Structure 1
Amino acid sequence: MNPRTHFRLVVLYVLVAALLLVLIGRMWALQVLEGEHYRAVAAENRTRDIVVPATRGMILDDRGRPLVRNRSALVVSVDRTTLSRQKDGGQTVLKRLAAVLGTSQDEMSKRIRLCGPGIKRPCWPGSPYQPIPVEDHVDPKRALQIMERQEDFPGITAQVQAVRDYPEPEGARPAQLLGYLQPVTQDELDKRKGLKVTGYSGVDLVGRDGLEAQYDSVLSGEPGFRKVLVDSQGRVTGTAQEQPPTAGSNLVTSIDAGVQGAAENALKHAIDGAHKQGRPADAGAAVVMDVRTGRMIAMASYPTYDPGIWTGGISQDEYDALLGKKQGEPLISRVTQGQFAPGSTFKISSVSAAVKDGNSLSGTYDCPGSYNVGNRAFRNFEGEELGAMSLHTALVKSCDTIFYRFAYQEWQRDGGMKPKKNPSDPMVKMARNYGFGARTGVDLPSESEGRIPDRGWKKNFWDVTKAANCKGAKEGYPEVAKTDPARAAYLKAVATENCTEGYVWRPGDAANFSVGQGDVLVTPLQLVRAYSAVANGGKLLTPRLGVAVVRPDGSIVRRIDAPPARKVPVDGKVLKYIRESLAEVPKSGTAAGAFTGFDFKRVDVGGKTGTAEVYGKQDTSWFASFGPVDKPRFAVVAMVSQGGQGAQTSAPAVREIWEAMYGTKDRKAILQDGRLPSELPRMPAEGTAP
């Protein structure tokens, strides 16, 4: 053999031997050194991890009646990620699914598209990586078709889930109070690293408003997980490992469903009555508070809506109706977010300030038909002249001119148009002491602050509006002048004044403030809290809805206590004087007509009417009350925007609520002797409602 050929053969043998050694070494490494790892990877190809949803806790009233519970529903969901891996982007699968569900492919595509600017509902507002529910009332036969032919429906699931149900006990339907659920967004998933996506669309929801949002962490529970075995088609063949979920806790509230239903009915009756009299009556609120504890017993808002509208998705028309002004923005709670001028109901604060500022509680004061504040005459309601009277009668008859005088004299002592360095502003300070102009701290999100204007606020407002006012002063309002020359001239005069001296706290500002007019704004919740302070001797309580967090088995997780009350700086004798004065309003004062025939022996009620003027609109109607007068338990307030006089619209609503709570000779009382439950209720049966 040629030596060169022999050498080449030897080199080839060596190379082959080396390759065999490398191959054998790699096989040994894979099977021995890394064998455990690859066995686990192989096992994962035939298993799937599923996060098992926890049943969300119920929201209960003070007697254990569910305001929100769960019901079972068969839900079909679509996994966008799985569909996107299909050759046609999943269009064939969607077409098959639409045929089974009895809808169109176009409608199905709309339901799984992601919400964004310019995208109308239906669309998916949650994470793109969550299964998207497309039908939550599926016929079992149709669901079975999907599950038995999984190879034709990759990425489609049909499973029984718990969805929110609103049973409306005693007719109670506090939609704004309860809030609603919406899918968790991708931003929330990114921010909350521990938040698990379950793979079940019905549980990847978070509270967006009301109690659902405030107590989301305790209501949602903790999901479990299940490791299942699957075949090549992705069908489940068995369970390898399982950890059960922990159900969410129930929230016991202080809301009484009976009183809540009565408040909602009374408010609706008042608004319907105002409509019959030709008034717009476009919004309203009715609220009941326990003056001893700060617990909220009822919170009704108008207009309202069906909270079940969120379950299973919401159409664009339905969504627009919830937010649109044409329908009255029913998503907004008028109790906590509505801000309105309080009118004469505000006089409890003004009387307290006037007495604290040195005016005698036992003095006699003249009540003329009008009173000159600076160079402008401020009139009594309808210009009525009532003569000399006490502060007691001033509250009973609701004399405005006495309060104008108090405010004007205080303004003058503070320096008038050139105020002292540290003006006393007794009425402004007292209003803040009563809790106006600040959030109450109620355990609900999105509470409004209201507004208590003062010199600082006036200056800030002037800074913002100066350019527009100066433009109006220079150019006038030609568009308005075309139809209303007188109004255009008035607007130009006001703009001229505001342009040059709009930052000044004028005597008219002080006078309007004293009777809850001008730039003063309060929420119904702030007002009922203030009247509770008058009723209970000066304790300004923090409103609370949550009473306790309770597990489904009835064991208590925690009780929900309110922060300590702070004291309103008003002498107890003054508060007693105010209570005694207000006790006469429904009997012989401005609300006597509304309370004709009322059984004061059953429950003695005191209160105050309020009729607040609003430029360009009809008056805001108020009635604020407390009772029983001798041992107050509750404060009740009603408000109707553009409802007319307080005595005509809101006072009858408040009367209806008191009669519902304490009963009449022809009607059984909701609260026997005005008593509320003293113990936590027993928990309703676990599980979803049928």
Structure 2
Amino acid sequence: MTNIPETGRTPRVQIRLVIIQVLVFSLLFTLGGRLWYLQIRNGDEYSSEAKNNHVQQVVQPAVRGSILDARGIPLADNETRLVVSASRTELMKMKDRGKGVLTRLADVLDMTPKEVMDKVRLCDSQTPQPCWNGSPYQPIPVTNKATTQQALQIRERAEDFPGITAEPTAVRRYPNPGGSNTGQVLGYLSPVTDDEIQQAKDTRSPLLRSDQVGRSGLERTYDRQLRGKAGVTRYEVDNLGRVIGQAAADPAEAGANVVTSIDARVQAVAEYQLDKAMKEARKIVDRNTGENYKADAGAVVVMESKTGRIVAMASNPTYDPNVWVGGISAKDYARLTGKNSNYPLLNRAIQGQAAPGSIFKVIPTTAAVNAGYPFDGKYPCPSSYSIGGQVFKNFESQGHGSITLGQALEVSCDTVFYALAHQQWQKDGALKPKKNPADIFYKTAHQFGLGKETGIDLPNEVSGRVPDRQWKQRFWEANKDWWCRTGKRGGTYVQQLSYENCLEGNLMRAGDSVNYSIGQGDTLVTPIQMATIYAAISNGGTMWNPTIGKAIISADGKRVEEIRPKAHGRLPMDARTRAQINDALEGVATRGTAAWRFGGWPQKQIPMHAKTGTAEVYGKQTTSWFATYTSDYTIVMTISQGGTGSGASGPFVRNIYNALYGLDMEGKQDLGKALLPHPQSSLPRIQKDGSIDAPEIHPYVPDEPKEDPEPALAGPPGKPATRPTHRDARWRD
């Protein structure tokens, strides 16, 4: 038998042994390195985290800062209430998932079991309000209006109410000083969500599960400053949950106070006068429909002309932000958001969009001058203007002969602007535009700041719309398929319009341009945009970002951070054109379409400037606009489906001015009755303990005229003076 040598196998075995040895040593080295990293390099960190497994946190909510008016009067502050809360975590451990406990709780609180159970259910896409949109691990407030007797029953019978607490807690309050509501400006709070906690985790102001955050208005804009920082005390506990010591404590830091430029007294006046204007408009018959005006919504802005600061801002319909405190009820939520609610949560001063009507005419006037048309030139103002087979009429079909651009503003002559816009449309190439058309009427609107937000320090401002060629093209591309599907040649008005839009809805037609020139058609603006424009005309041309926040003051009063006004541009006009437009707008108030609303006004002492507007809306009644300014203030009011500008809004805008300057209807001034004859420049005084001095405020009591306050109206040259009624719209817009 032949012996086979083993020499060939020996090297292979040795290689395998070496590889195994390398692997073993590598694993041992890796394990040793990991142990060194965990026990030595990061030993303290992991030891601390291990301890935290036996640490319980007790959160002390920070006191939220107050929102104050310009004189230090609280618009939003806090009060101590007895709050009854339920721990959903504890309830879910019970066999009946807490149904029995919540039923007993409802009986104590004089609520129905369903109301209580709805309060503690979690919000999702399928669950309507009321529900809890905060963390499920946080105690959920059932009511913040518990009586002392109810709280005692819960605490004395703790065995019947496991998971239920009744404790005094600082709760947000909106006191409505002087009867001012300020709802849409202030906003409201609601519990923080888990997503928000994660997003704020690495910021300077992290959120805790117990926090409430601002959801709208100033509460949202200045949430970080107002919220402060919650205190956290950490207790070491044993395996049975017994406290064995205190690990650490971070004291709570109270939130800062936000001082605003709002004057609660003026705010109350603005809200009352807007509401009164709408109620009075509903008494008037619309001659176009034969029905009374609906006056279903409105807004008014009172702004400092030289700074852009907001003195008052009212939106109607409105709501009481107190309904959100402690969780909103199903009834209140439906009233605020239902189909028939008319959406009172909407701040129509910054979110209400409408065609501006004739208050827009300062823009095409500027565009015309910049295009080379002399301001003092003569322009025909016939009763109508024809383009092809279409006739565009002047308001009330009134003609005024040959007039200047300034006079066109005074009497609000539509046909002057029709002709100018038509001429510019033709110069740009009409239906076959040049490669780079001037489009000066549209570009001027953009230069005035339209088509974008003003930058006001409130969330969710809308931009309005300038219907230029770019917008027409985008709109046509988005709607072409629907127009082509629903359009019908020779059908109803809507069908015929859809048919035409399908074919050439992207073209800038002559009718588009002439309608645009008087603030009609597809043009949309907001009251805050128009207030910014008219304030700029007043102050010399600076377009300020409207601001409500005036200063941030720390809780102890030691740190004061002023919020200074910022500008976003200047009006596209030279000083001479601004002066000419300024004079024309003064003429509107003294001899033009607004003169009948300013009879007896002390024009020499307090020069008044105005522009009226009445915008037509397809399928609705006309929108009333009234834009005015003095050297101190700019006030713009609008009423949806309210009628003419001077007819519906005019007298009530004057009432706001009367309150500001202390004037009666005859123009006599009593500074003792003047609320704010000059804008408030100083901040409220801060005491050494951090408290802020606030004067006493009384509810607003309007001076109602005993007789018809409407003065005789001086008509144009050659026309006798008349005393107009709400139905007499001659010389008015």
Tell me the distance in 1 between the aligned counterparts of 2:99 and 2:496: 66
Q: Does structure 1 conserve the Cα–Cα contact (< 8 Å) formed by 2:558 and 2:690?
A: no
Partners of 2:359 and 2:52 in 1: CA distance: 73
Asked if the contact 1:62–1:681 (Cα under 8 Å) also holds between the matched residues in 2, the reply is: no
* In 2: Cα distance, 1:435 partner to 1:233 partner: 66
CA deviation profile, 1:572-629 (whole Å, cap 9, x unmatched): 10010001111111221111222223343452211100000011111000010110xx
1:273 pairs, out of 276, 280, 287, with: 280
Higher alpha-carbon deviation: 309-318 or 148-157: 148-157
Residue pairs, 1:57-456, within 5 angstroms: 57-193=65-201, 200=210, 204-227=211-234, 242-277=249-284, 278-456=292-470
1:678 to 676, 682, 686: 682
2:531 equivalent to 1:528:
yes
Q: CA 1:199–1:527 in structure 2 vs 1: closer, same or farther (change >3 Å)? A: closer
Alignment gaps of 5+ in structure 2:
1-42, 285-291, 695-733
Secondary structure, aligned partner of 2:588: helix
Distance 2:333 2:258 in 1: 28
Aligned pair partner of 1:542 in 536, 542, 545: 545
Counterpart amino acid of residue 66 in structure 1: P
| Whole-angstrom distance in 1 between the partners of 2:309 and 2:321 | 23
1:212-266 per-residue CA deviation (whole Å, 9 max, x = no partner) reads 0001000000011234699999899997864320000000111111111111111
Alpha-carbon distance, 1:38 to partner: 11
**Distance apart, 1:366 and its partner CA:** 1.0
SS in structure 2 at match of 1:89? coil
Structure 2 counterpart SS, 1:623: strand
Deviates more, 1:465-474 or 1:247-256: 465-474
Distance 1:666 1:673 in 2: 10
Q: 1:163 to 1:686 in 2, by over 3 A?
A: farther
CA distance in 2, matches of 1:520, 1:334: 17
- Following TM superposition, by how much is the alpha carbon of 1:489 offset from its aligned partner in structure 2, in angstroms? 3.1
Question: What residue in structure 1 maps to residue 642 of structure 2?
Answer: 643
Matching residue of 1:495 = 498
Partner-residue secondary structure (3-state), 1:647: helix
Q: In structure 2, how many angstroms separate the alpha carbons of the residues matched to 1:409 and 1:44? A: 79
Residue number in structure 2 paired with 1:49: 57
User: In the TM superposition, what are the counterparts of 1:546-557 in structure 2 within 5 Å?
Assistant: 546-557=549-560
Task: Provide TM-score, normalisation by structure 2.
Answer: 0.82
- In the TM superposition, what is the alpha-carbon distance from 1:167 to its structure 2 partner? 1.5
Q: CA deviation at 1:96?
A: 3.7
Closer, same or farther: CA 143–396 of 1 in aligned 2, 3 Å: same
What residue in structure 1 maps to residue 514 of structure 2?
511
Equivalent position of 2:5 in the other structure: none
Alignment size in residue pairs = 634
The 8 Å contact of residues 228 and 240 in structure 1, kept in 2 or not, is answered as: yes
**2:473 pairs with 451, 459, 463, which one?**
459
SS in 2 for 1:328: coil
Residue 42 of structure 1 and its aligned partner are, at CA, apart by 10
Evaluate the alpha carbon distance shift between residue 197 and residue 230 of structure 1 in structure 2; reply closer, same or farther with a 3 A threshold: farther
- Contact 1:639–1:650 (8 Å) recurs in 2: yes
**Please, which of 612, 618, 621 is the counterpart of residue 618 of structure 1?**
621
C-alpha separation between the residues in 1 aligned to 2:497 and 2:520? 18
Give the SS at the match of 1:346. Answer: helix
Aligned equivalent of 2:483: 469
Tell me how far apart the structure 1 counterparts of residues 426 and 238 of structure 2 sit (CA, whole Å).
88
Summarize deviations over 1:379-435 as a string: whole Å, max 9, x none: 100111110111121111110100001100000000000000100011111111111
**Structure 1: any 5+ residue segments left out of the alignment?**
1-33, 477-487
Confirm or deny: 8 A CA contact 2:232 2:251 kept in the other structure: yes
Q: Which residue of 2 is the match for residue 22 of structure 1?
A: none
Cα distance in structure 1, aligned partners of 2:493 and 2:209 = 63
Question: Contact 2:304–2:679 (CA<8 Å) still a contact in 1?
Answer: no
Which residue of 2 is the match for residue 573 of structure 1? 576
Counterpart residue type for residue 261 of structure 1: A
Matched with 2:11 is none
**Match of residue 727 from structure 2:** none
CA distance in 2, matches of 1:600, 1:366: 30
* Aligned Cα root-mean-square deviation (Å): 2.7
TM-score computed with the length of structure 1 as normaliser: 0.86
CA contact (8 A) 2:557 2:690 kept: no
- 8 A Cα contact 2:298 2:315, kept in partner: yes
Contact 2:597 2:651 in 1 (8 A): yes
Mark the CA change 1:491 to 1:64 in structure 2 (over 3 Å): closer, same or farther.
same
CA distance change for structure 1 residues 491 and 237 in 2, over 3 Å: closer, same or farther? same
Q: Cα offset for 1:673?
A: 3.4
Deviations 1:544-581 (A, max 9, x none): 11111101222234222233442222011001000111
User: 3-state SS of the aligned residue for 2:597?
Assistant: coil
Q: Is the 8 A contact 1:286 1:299 kept in 2?
A: yes
Contact 1:227–1:241 under 8 Å retained in 2: yes
Amino acid at match of 1:110: D
Correspondence for 1:6: none
CA separation of 1:39 and 1:314: change in aligned 2, threshold 3 A: closer
Deviation at 1:300, TM superposition (A): 0.7
CA deviation after TM superposition for structure 1 residue 686, in Å: 5.2
Shift of 1:150: 3.9
CA 1:685–1:235 in structure 2 vs 1: closer, same or farther (change >3 Å)? farther
Residue 39 of structure 2 aligns with which residue? none
AA aligned opposite 2:425 = W
DSSP 3-state at the match of 2:282: helix
Amino acid at match of 2:182: P
Deviation at residue 464 of structure 1 after TM alignment:
1.7
Q: What is the CA–CA distance in structure 2 between the aligned matches of 1:39 and 1:289, rounded to whole Å?
A: 56
Aligned-partner SS, 1:94: helix
For residue 249 of structure 1, what is the amino acid of its counterpart? A
Q: Taking structure 1 as reference, are residues 638 and 103 closer, same or farther at Cα in structure 2, changes over 3 Å only?
A: closer
2:269 partner letter: A
- Secondary structure (helix, strand or coil) at the match of 2:348 reads coil
Distance in 1 (CA, whole Å) between partners of 2:511 and 2:180 is 44
Moved more, 262-271 or 108-117: 108-117
